[in-house]
A = this chain, B = another copy of it.
Amino acid sequence: MKVAFQGELGAYSEMAARSYFHETVQVSPQPTFTDLFERVTSGSCTHGMVPIENTVMGSIHENYDHLLKNDLHIVGELKLRIMHNLIVNPGVRLEDIRHIYSHPAALAQCTKFTRSLTQAEAVVAYDTAGAVKNLKESGAKDAAAIASAQAAVDYDLEILKTGVENNHQNYTRFLIVTKTPVEPEDPAKISLVFAMKDVPGALFKSLSAFALRDINLLKIESRPLEGRPWEYAFYLDLEGHLGHEPCARAIEHLKEIATFVKILGAYPQGEAVEGTVRSKIASR
């Protein structure tokens, strides 16, 4: 077992992988989501850990496109509590900080705190854990990074303040994807994508296939159809069992009226977790 994730070691995606599997699972950091999907498709990794939405920032739309283009299967999900930390070189105090480095998304989630440090400016870095790595290498005494607790452990740096995010109701939902479908124990959730003929009321008709069978819709997301301006693919998350009659019939019903339907996976509803921080990797 080897789990691909996007980002550097110490990224939130790594914490998600270790929470979902176990602390010592083998992981494979990838520079982009395209690489992540390629590693799982080629078989060089058995699983991929794919962030799909954050409760503050919204969906990670690029990954919806990857789910459509790649023939992988969603076999599980995990909701990771995102707790951002202000990380510094040992001895640095809050009043010493002039620059705060992090990924743009993390900076956007911590504006209340960063603006309260009036003498400090937020500076964009390519990665949260990468910002911590640079901080360690520079030894800067006037700078900080915003990243996971894991990143602080990895680089022996100090967490000066924890929970610096604007909104503590901050969760990222991850999908676990594999090449080979497995039958999860309680696959109570279904994800699928479809497109409709361009006729009035098309989306309403497609949702009625589920609503009229009392199948609950958990999420809807739309993405543009390539080369077809102002037409969309719709991604649905549904509550139900793929093998049970109402869901099976609803999907047959949808196929009657859609131009295509692709089942992305059937999997158990994910739990919310705080995230697993492993011990520092000796070789680093």
Residues of A that sit less than 8 Å from B by CB: 53-59, 61, 79, 167, 169, 171, 200-201, 203-205, 207-208, 210-211, 214, 216-224, 226-230, 232
Contacts of A204 in B (CB 8 A): 204, 207-208, 210-211, 217
Cross-chain contact B61 with A224 (CB below 8 angstroms): no
Contacts of A171 in B (CB 8 A): 229
Contacts of A58 in B (CB 8 A): 61, 223-224
**How long is the Cα–Cα vector from A186 to B223 in the complex, in angstroms?**
28
Cross-chain contact A229 with B61 (CB below 8 angstroms): no
Beyond A201-B217, A204-B207, list 12 extra A-B contacts (CB 8 Å): A54-B224, A55-B230, A61-B61, A167-B226, A169-B227, A171-B229, A200-B214, A201-B211, A203-B217, A204-B204, A205-B211, A219-B230
Chain B: minimal CB distance from A96 (Å): 29
Cross-chain contact B207 with A203 (CB below 8 angstroms): yes
Cross-chain contact A216 with B229 (CB below 8 angstroms): no
**How long is the Cα–Cα vector from A201 to B220 in the complex, in angstroms?**
12
Cross-chain contact B220 with A169 (CB below 8 angstroms): no
Contacts of A211 in B (CB 8 A): 201, 204-205
**How long is the Cα–Cα vector from A3 to B167 in the complex, in angstroms?**
34
Contacts of A205 in B (CB 8 A): 211
Chain B: minimal CB distance from A266 (Å): 19
